[in-house]
Amino acid sequence: MSRIRLLPEIVASQVAAGEVVERPASVVKELIENSIDAGARKIEIMTHRGGISLVRVIDDGSGMDRDDALLSLERHATSKIRSAADLQTIGTLGFRGEALPSIASVSRFRLTTREPTAIAGTEIIVNGGKIDVVRDGGEAPGTQVEVRSLFYNLPARRKFLRSENTESRNVEHQIHLQAIGHPRIAFTLLRDDRLVFQLPETTTLSDRIRDLYGSELLERLIQVNGNASAKVQISGLIGQAGLSRQTRAQQLIFVNGRAIESGLITAAIREGYHTALMKGQYPVTFLFLDLDPGTVDVNVHPTKREVRFRDLTGVREAIVHCLRQTLERTRTEWQEKFRAPPASPPAVTKIPASATVEPQLAAAVSPESVRAGYRPVEFAPRPVPDNRRESVAGVDDPGRAAQTARSKHATPQQFQIIGVLNKLYILMENANGLVLVDQHAAHERILFEDLQRRMEEQGVPAQKLLLPQTFDLPPRDSDWIERNMSILQKMGIGIESFGPNSFKIDSLPSFLNVSDPTQFMRKVIDDLKSVTNNSSAMRLGEEMIAKTVCRHAVKANDPLRYLEVEKLIQDLLECDLPYCCPHGRPTMIQISLVELEKKFGRKV
């Protein structure tokens, strides 16, 4: 007796629905994508009870005639591709012809649609995959899809839904993705009959971000410059160093206009930010990658959230390079902001530029007197040595060179050091108001970049050990050392093989103060093994420096002399990424006059 049977159409749709429709947010995603593909200028979304009892999406797109409307509910029926070859050049968000039949098979479904020139439209009602009603209907041109009681006929699936609040948040996140990806389309969201947002159509991503997240966020974003590589165009806005979130909710990535999730891109973003990001934090990105559709496969998963890149390494490198350049580019602007003189300089004695300060005076200005007194400092930007410019990322960047040239000719600007708070925070005044500098974090950043540069150029100076030491390691760790031997040597660690799984170490970086070299090496290996899996050798060096500079940097509670404070600020302003320490913590906080006025009730 034969036991294999073709599944009835409804059951097959429900099986497919298992993959496409996970939760209300997936319904919202599929419906909005259909509206976008239909050329909508305006999309209105309405949900009840987290979308579980109702999702309604209304668009003003092309609409469908009756035949198409009926056909759209058949499985594998699509207007977007015709042959397998079309899969190579997908320019629409949908193409699988699965969403509508899947959704209709697990809900009470109603579709009304009308083409702009048609006299009447069509209304179709489907319950659990069965078409119940087909009649004239459809008011305004466009399409309206209503999905009620999701999973009402699949109790097992319904049980897996989360609370209404959680589902609501998922729905909103989904709409944010689509809204950011398509600023030219107006979006409205009503949740339980309350207006959540109404985003007008705009022409720019910035406007859309401001409308959705507010201008405060927008002010902390920087424009990505696009020409990362010939194969990948990268554009969008990313958070400046120091801006981060505890979740990935604002890490938005689009590939050819489609919001996607990708471990590869997430890792590349992380690497691009590297020392500008705190551990466990996520950057804010609105990143758009555009590449030839033939080089990226979106037909990986029914939800189309994942993609495969043909040139994986190329994409990864383009992102890393582009983010680093973007983060460093903002440096000049940042410097200018912090150097800008206060609005009305107070009438106090000015100390001339640091070079001419008498030694006795320097000694006389203790942290105490700095705290008590108020000494503005005149400050001319230090010219950047040529070799230094080239060492950065090792690339030719005319924009950057121009910036440096500009800062070379800039007139001396001034900021004013007010004093040091709690032996840790340097207080300064600039045009915007009050600036607080964490002296320890600032010093870490300066040391980090200094060592990084030395490593790239001639290697970190090493100091011979009085007694060379030999030590054994497990085979895996030995293998790691063998592979990274040359970079370790560049970092000032004199290490060589000394028999199988055995090593001799005879020098260490001179800036380190290590009492037990063997233990130090074991720790270095432990710390760094995980990083090297997918990063470059240079990155390994940076990581190692970041881990070690901390011990060397000016500690909190180390009183600095006035000139040291000044020098510290001056050096910080010359760093490539001055805004945060190598572990991604901020070095400076600006409290604007406006904020102060608000706090003092001068302004509401």
35 touches Mg ion (CB under 5 A): no
Of 188, 149, 254, 150, residue with least CA distance to 43: 188
Classified as helix, coil or strand, 302 is: coil
**Closer residue to ligand ADP in complex, CB, 35/587:** 35
Q: Select the span of 76-84, 262-270, 336-344, 353-361 touching ligand ADP (CB under 6 A).
A: 76-84
Crossing angle of helices 537-552 and 439-457, rounded to 10°: 140
16 touches ligand ADP (CB under 6 A): no
Classified as helix, coil or strand, 325 is: helix
Q: Select the span of 12-20, 92-100, 109-117, 393-401 touching Mg ion (CB under 5 A).
A: 92-100
What tokens were used for 147?
């999905």
The least CB distance from residue 34 to Mg ion, in Å, is: 4
Contact 215, 184 (CB under 8 A): no
Task: Name 322's Cβ contacts closer than 8 Å, sequence gap at least 6.
Answer: 224, 225, 228, 234, 272
38 touches ligand ADP (CB under 6 A): yes
The least CB distance from residue 30 to Mg ion, in Å, is: 5
Task: Name 92's Cβ contacts closer than 8 Å, sequence gap at least 6.
Answer: 37, 80
Question: Which of positions 408-447 make contact with Mg ion (CB under 5 A)?
Answer: none
55 touches ligand ADP (CB under 6 A): no
Q: Which does 59 bind (CB under 5 to 8 A by kind): Mg ion, ligand ADP, none?
A: ligand ADP
124 touches ligand ADP (CB under 6 A): no
Q: Phi then psi for 396, rounded to 5 degrees? A: -85, 115
Q: Which does 78 bind (CB under 5 to 8 A by kind): ligand ADP, Mg ion, none?
A: ligand ADP
Find residue 580's DSSP bridge partners.
586
Number of residues that bind Mg ion (CB under 5 A): 3
**Closer residue to Mg ion in complex, CB, 302/376:** 302
Other residues' Cβ atoms within 10 Å of the Cβ of residue 126: 21
Residue 495, phi-psi category: left (phi > 0), alpha (psi -120 to 50), beta (remainder): beta
59 touches ligand ADP (CB under 6 A): yes
Q: Phi then psi for 489, rounded to 5 degrees? A: -65, -40
34 touches Mg ion (CB under 5 A): yes
- What sections of 133-229 are H helices per DSSP? 155-159, 164-181, 205-213, 215-219
Q: How far apart are CA 198 and CA 180, in angstroms?
A: 13
109 touches ligand ADP (CB under 6 A): no
Classified as helix, coil or strand, 389 is: helix
325 touches ligand ADP (CB under 6 A): no
99 touches Mg ion (CB under 5 A): yes
Q: Give CA angle at 527 (316, 489), nearest 5°.
A: 85
Give me the residue label for tokens 């060179």. 401
Other residues' Cβ atoms within 10 Å of the Cβ of residue 308: 13
**Closer residue to ligand ADP in complex, CB, 78/262:** 78
Q: Select the span of 90-98, 519-527, 570-578, 592-600 touching ligand ADP (CB under 6 A).
A: 90-98
Q: Select the span of 92-100, 124-132, 133-141, 410-418 touching ligand ADP (CB under 6 A).
A: 92-100
Question: Contact with Mg ion (CB under 5 A): which of 61, 94, 128, 129?
Answer: 94
289-328 mask for Mg ion (x: CB under 5 A)?
Answer: ----------------------------------------
Number of residues that bind ligand ADP (CB under 6 A): 22
Question: Contact with ligand ADP (CB under 6 A): which of 52, 100, 424, 442?
Answer: 100
Alpha-carbon Rg for the chain, nearest whole angstrom, is 30
72 touches ligand ADP (CB under 6 A): yes
**What residues line the site for ligand ADP (CB under 6 A)?**
30, 34-35, 38, 59, 61-64, 72, 77-80, 94-100, 143
**What residues line the site for Mg ion (CB under 5 A)?**
34, 94, 99
